[in-house]
């Protein structure tokens, strides 16, 4: 099987490449990249005027399987990824049961291989049942190919347990992905604490609830040498802490979500449950600090934190709604609209933060269009205008704070292992 | 007490001087409007409600206090939180206007069987009610209900967010005493954090040009509250000094499990409003309280009964203001003068 992608602007930060070229894909691998390729191909894709990038990677996704299929499953979740131009997702372990043993890890890998539309990396739990008490079998899960470990949705509130986990996992070269918001402070609040929460009367979560935890985990990373990756960093204080730790050579990385990079707590003003998320949407000074951190390399990856819920769970009073919303199908459009077209970030920087850099920090064989690598490719039309319509989503959880947003730029084709899984907004039959 | 005419001119003076604007032509209307908070109402709309409430208050003084204005209209009082005065106040307001009023509280409805708010609202709507008066423990519930419901939604308190009719009755009471807001020093004392009354009054009073000051234990003062245009004081005395109005908020003892301050004893000593502290205020300062009072805690026994206290007037005015709100939203902004 040969596919020839003609005349696209190849943007590949892994090779510092940005030029119009042809790309030949053969048997699921990148076979050749050259200004003009004349090869007999089974399919020719005309990429004139389009950007051809290494497949986008989302390090933070909730696929909800097993156990929470009313929200999402491996099929709908990976279709949503394909639709959004994402070729690889890492799924979080806060499922029912929790992904805290190798047998569950293998089960998800096997089913994703069979039914999924994109690659699925599995993240195992740090502690048994994500309860923050006893270490899960991280060694066994590491040997069965997890990307890393996280108790996402929960802060490992015991510093003792977290330090133990970091010491233990350092032998397996896998990161601990930390959901860093103090549980007690978080439990009392429902949005960012500030002028907007004061006005709305909604109990606030202070941004220091995040800073305090990130400071602790940076210290643990420094002390143990383990790789700590801060999930969905959202406060300016936390960005500063990571920046300082990196400057000292600490083995720490972090990611920011599309919504924390683009929305503020003003979005909560109408009590729209689509704006309920943890960490909460913060004020503009925090958003600016995140963009600065993304620019200077403090923040390594842009993620979605795609967290779908069933409609009846979100169609309730603000305070009663669960945290999270879907993000796989809006991330490319929102990022291109609000970060690229505003002139703040180049397309090279965006591709780096959504593909090359996440692959590098998580040691994934992905994020590059070098010859011989997996043909996972995201093709972008930077100028295509469209409006977010959640009814057209493939995900089961339709709720998003971006519904109705006018976007400029979208993923027009997604290729996984040399096969198109999405073309022109339509997910291809498997 | 000033004449009703003064009340009618009160808020409105500003508009008159600006453009010779004639309120009897009812330039604003609240017909069909949801009343969710006070920040979304204009000064002209406040004025319409105040003038209508003044007429309603006259009705309350009649021997037969019943108007046919809302005959054939039905109002549901949907209360997800315990309330005596607000619920009775709305119920009487509706009944004085001739409406059919039913009361639903969480203990007696299918809410107990686990029905979600959306379905309860849709059920009420299906029974063809004209207005839903809702009290709910969480912020934004009134907005959520209004987005779902075709009937008019009157917010009777949503969590710590808003209690617009309390704000309006406070406004009416202050105006009735000839105090016109602009440049006045208003002190709100106590639990600002959990208080929908505080938020409603801050929204209205700042809009009317008053100088709003808050004080209380710092654990009960929301972070960044000064961005709403109020001055925060660490000492209650500084807020009360020279004040024209002291609004004492109820300490919600039911929240004391969170231990926001060490003991009620310490609260009363350091933050309680008493005669001694009231000496710092202007001599004609009004003492207000949304009730029910914890006497001896946030307000001393004597202060609650002092000449400055207008707490019982607030209750009377509450009925008048709610009559006005129900009338104006359900029947429209037809000027009361012409209706007579």
CB contact under 8 A, A318 and B139: yes
- Is A420 within 8 Å of A413 (Cβ atoms)? yes
Flag whether pLDDT at B48 surpasses 90. Answer: yes
With beta carbons under 8 A apart, name residues in chain A contacting B139: 200-202, 271, 318-319
ipTM of the complex as predicted: 0.86
CB contact under 8 A, B139 and A201: yes
CA distance B1 to chain A (A): 33
pLDDT-derived band at B13, boundaries 50, 70, 90 = very low
Identify which of B117, B228, B258 has the shortest CB distance to residue A199. B228
- Asked, colleague to colleague, whether B4-162+318-335 and B178-309 share their fold, the answer is yes
CA distance B227 to chain A (A): 6
Give one DSSP letter per residue of B230-296, joined into a string: -EEESSHHHHHTT-SEEEEPPP-GGGGGG-SSS-HHHHHHHH-B-HHHHTTS-TT-EEE--S---BT
CA distance B111 to chain A (A): 13
- Longest pairwise C-alpha distance within chain A: 66
pLDDT-derived band at B340, boundaries 50, 70, 90 = very low
pLDDT at A328: 98
Task: Give the CATH fold of the B178-309 domain.
Answer: Rossmann fold (3.40.50)
Nearest by Cα to A329 from A391, A383, A260:
A391
- Is B186 within 8 Å of B210 (Cβ atoms)? yes
pLDDT at B108: 60
Flag whether pLDDT at B338 surpasses 80. Answer: no
Task: Please indicate if any CB of chain B lies within 8 Å of the CB of A193.
Answer: yes
Strand order through the sheet with A252-257:
A56-61, A86-91, A119-124, A148-150, A176-178, A228-230, A252-257, A301-303
Question: What letter would DSSP give residue A270?
Answer: G
Task: Please indicate if any CB of chain B lies within 8 Å of the CB of A204.
Answer: yes
Q: For chain B, what is the mean pLDDT?
A: 89
pLDDT at A347: 98
pLDDT at B26: 54
pLDDT at B112: 64
With beta carbons under 8 A apart, name residues in chain B contacting A199: 199, 228
Flag whether pLDDT at B17 surpasses 70. Answer: no
pLDDT at B334: 46
Cβ contacts below 8 Å, chain A against chain B, sum to 71
CB contact under 8 A, B227 and A204: no
Task: Please indicate if any CB of chain A lies within 8 Å of the CB of B144.
Answer: yes
pLDDT at B339: 41
Identify which of B144, B199, B224 has the shortest CB distance to residue A317. B144
pLDDT at B337: 47
Flag whether pLDDT at B107 surpasses 70. Answer: no
Please state the domain extents for chain B.
4-162+318-335, 178-309
Question: What letter would DSSP give residue A281?
Answer: P
Local confidence pLDDT in tens for the 430 residues of chain A: 999 999 999 999 999 999 999 999 999 999 999 999 998 999 999 999 999 999 999 999 999 999 999 999 999 999 999 999 999 999 999 999 999 999 999 999 999 999 999 999 999 999 999 999 999 999 999 999 999 999 999 999 999 999 999 999 999 999 999 999 998 887 779 999 999 999 999 999 999 999 999 999 999 999 999 999 999 999 999 999 999 999 999 999 999 999 999 999 999 999 999 999 999 999 999 999 999 999 999 999 999 999 999 999 999 999 999 999 999 999 999 999 999 999 999 999 999 999 999 999 999 999 999 999 999 999 999 999 999 999 999 999 999 999 999 999 999 999 999 999 999 999 998 7
Flag whether pLDDT at B300 surpasses 70. Answer: yes
Residue A305 among the catalytic residues: yes
Flag whether pLDDT at B5 surpasses 70. Answer: no
Flag whether pLDDT at B23 surpasses 50. Answer: no
- Is B34 within 8 Å of B153 (Cβ atoms)? yes
CB contact under 8 A, A204 and B161: no
CA distance B33 to chain A (A): 17
pLDDT at B24: 45
On whether the B4-162+318-335 domain is CATH 3.40.630.180, my answer is no
Question: What letter would DSSP give residue A354?
Answer: I
pLDDT at A187: 74
CB contact under 8 A, A193 and B139: no
Plot region of B53 (φ>0 → left; ψ -120 to 50 → alpha; else → beta): alpha
Identify which of A195, A201, A203 has the shortest CB distance to residue B196. A201
CA distance B304 to chain A (A): 27
- Is A281 within 8 Å of A287 (Cβ atoms)? no
pLDDT-derived band at B336, boundaries 50, 70, 90 = very low
Which of B116, B117, B136, B144 to substitute to test the interface with A, most A CBs within 10 Å?
A: B144
Task: Please indicate if any CB of chain A lies within 8 Å of the CB of B118.
Answer: yes
DSSP bridge partners of A98:
none
- A171 exposure class (CB count in 10 Å sphere: 0-12, 13-18, 19+): exposed
Classified as helix, coil or strand, B121 is helix
- Is B187 within 8 Å of B239 (Cβ atoms)? yes
pLDDT-derived band at B318, boundaries 50, 70, 90 = very high
Structural domains in chain A, CATH included, are 2-52+373-427 (2.30.40.10), 55-361 (3.20.20.140)
Identify which of B162, B196, B225 has the shortest CB distance to residue A198. B225
Q: Hey, how many other C-beta atoms are within 10 angstroms of the C-beta on A394?
A: 21
Residue of chain A minimizing CA distance to B116: A316
Residue A94 corresponds to which tokens in the numbers above? 């806060």
Flag whether pLDDT at B9 surpasses 70. Answer: no
Q: Which of A300, A305, A338, A381 is catalytic?
A: A305
CB contact under 8 A, B140 and A199: no
Cα-Cα-Cα-Cα torsion B80, B84, B90, B95, nearest 10 degrees, comes to 120
Catalytic residues of B: 85-86, 113, 135, 163
Flag whether pLDDT at B110 surpasses 90. Answer: no
């Amino acid at each position: 099987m040969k596919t020839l992608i003609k005349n696209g602007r190849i943007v590949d930060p892994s090779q510092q490449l940005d030029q119009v070229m042809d790309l030949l894909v053969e048997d699921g691998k990148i076979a050749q990249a050259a200004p003009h390729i004349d090869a007999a191909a089974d399919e020719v894709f005309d990429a004139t005027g389009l950007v051809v990038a290494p497949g986008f990677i989302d390090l933070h996704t909730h696929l909800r399987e097993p156990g929470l299929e009313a929200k999402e499953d491996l099929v709908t979740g990976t279709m949503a990824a394909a639709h959004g131009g994402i070729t690889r997702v890492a799924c979080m372990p806060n499922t029912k049961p929790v992904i805290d043993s190798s047998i569950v890890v293998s089960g998800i890998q096997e089913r994703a291989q069979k039914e999924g539309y994109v690659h699925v990396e599995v993240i195992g739990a740090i502690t048994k049942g994500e309860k923050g008490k006893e270490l899960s079998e991280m060694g066994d899960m590491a040997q069965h190919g997890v990307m890393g470990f996280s108790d996402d949705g929960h802060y490992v509130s015991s510093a003792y347990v977290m330090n133990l986990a970091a010491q233990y996992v350092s032998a397996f070269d896998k990161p601990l992905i930390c959901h860093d918001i103090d549980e007690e402070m978080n439990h009392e609040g429902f949005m960012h604490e500030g002028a907007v929460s004061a006005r709305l009367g909604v109990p606030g979560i202070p941004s220091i609830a995040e800073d305090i935890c990130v400071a602790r985990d940076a210290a643990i990373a420094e002390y143990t040498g383990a790789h700590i990756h801060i999930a969905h960093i959202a406060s300016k204080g936390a960005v500063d802490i990571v920046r300082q730790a990196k400057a000292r050579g600490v083995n720490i990385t972090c990611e920011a979500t599309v919504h924390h990079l683009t929305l503020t707590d003003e979005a909560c003003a109408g009590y729209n449950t689509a704006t309920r998320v943890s960490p909460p949407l913060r004020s503009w000074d925090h958003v600016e600090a995140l963009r600065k951190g993304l620019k200077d390399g403090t923040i390594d990856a842009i993620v979605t934190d795609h967290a779908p819920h069933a409609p009846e769970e979100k169609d309730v009073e603000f305070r009663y709604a669960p945290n999270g919303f879907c993000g796989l199908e809006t991330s490319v459009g929102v990022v291109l609209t609000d970060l690229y077209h505003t002139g703040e970030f180049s397309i090279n920087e965006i591709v780096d933060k959504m593909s090359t850099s996440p692959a590098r920090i998580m040691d994934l064989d992905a994020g590059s269009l070098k010859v011989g690598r997996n043909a996972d490719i995201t093709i972008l039309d930077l100028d295509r205008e469209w409006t977010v319509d959640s009814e057209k989503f493939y995900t089961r959880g339709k709720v998003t704070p971006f519904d109705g947003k006018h976007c400029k730029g979208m993923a027009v084709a997604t290729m996984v292992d040399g096969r198109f899984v999405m073309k022109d907004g339509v997910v291809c039959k498997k | 007490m000033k004449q009703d005419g003064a009340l009618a001119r009160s808020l409105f003076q500003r508009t008159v001087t600006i453009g010779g604007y004639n309120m009897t032509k009812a330039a604003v209307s609240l017909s069909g409007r949801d009343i969710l908070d006070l920040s979304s109402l204009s000064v002209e709309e406040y004025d319409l409600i105040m003038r209508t409430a003044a007429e309603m208050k006259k009705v309350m003084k009649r021997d037969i206090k019943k108007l046919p204005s809302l005959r054939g209209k039905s109002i549901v009082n949907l209360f997800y939180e315990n309330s005596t005065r607000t619920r009775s106040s709305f119920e009487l307001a509706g009944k004085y206007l001739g409406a059919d009023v039913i009361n639903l509280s969480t203990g007696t409805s299918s809410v107990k069987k686990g029905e979600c708010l959306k379905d309860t609202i849709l059920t009420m709507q299906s029974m063809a009610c004209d207005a839903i008066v809702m009290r709910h423990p969480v912020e934004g519930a009134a907005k959520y209900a209004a987005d779902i419901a075709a009937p008019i939604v009157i917010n009777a308190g949503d969590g710590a967010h808003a209690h617009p009719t309390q704000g309006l009755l406070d406004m009416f009471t202050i105006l009735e005493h000839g105090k016109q807001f602009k440049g006045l020093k208003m002190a709100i004392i106590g639990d600002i954090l959990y208080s929908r009354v505080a938020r409603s009054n801050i929204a209205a009073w700042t809009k009317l040009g008053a100088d709003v000051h808050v004080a209380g234990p710092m654990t009960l003062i929301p972070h960044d509250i000064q961005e709403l245009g109020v001055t925060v004081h660490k000492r209650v005395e500084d807020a009360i000094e020279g004040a024209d109005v002291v609004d004492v908020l109820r300490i919600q003892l039911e929240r004391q499990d969170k231990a926001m301050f060490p003991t009620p004893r310490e609260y009363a000593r350091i933050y309680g409003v008493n005669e001694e502290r009231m000496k710092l205020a202007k001599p004609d300062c009004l003492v207000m309280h949304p009730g029910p009072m914890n006497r001896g805690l946030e307000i001393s026994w004597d202060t609650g009964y002092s000449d400055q206290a207008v707490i019982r007037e607030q209750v009377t005015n509450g009925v008048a203001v709610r009559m006005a709100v129900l009338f104006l939203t359900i029947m429209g902004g037809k000027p009361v003068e012409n209706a007579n």
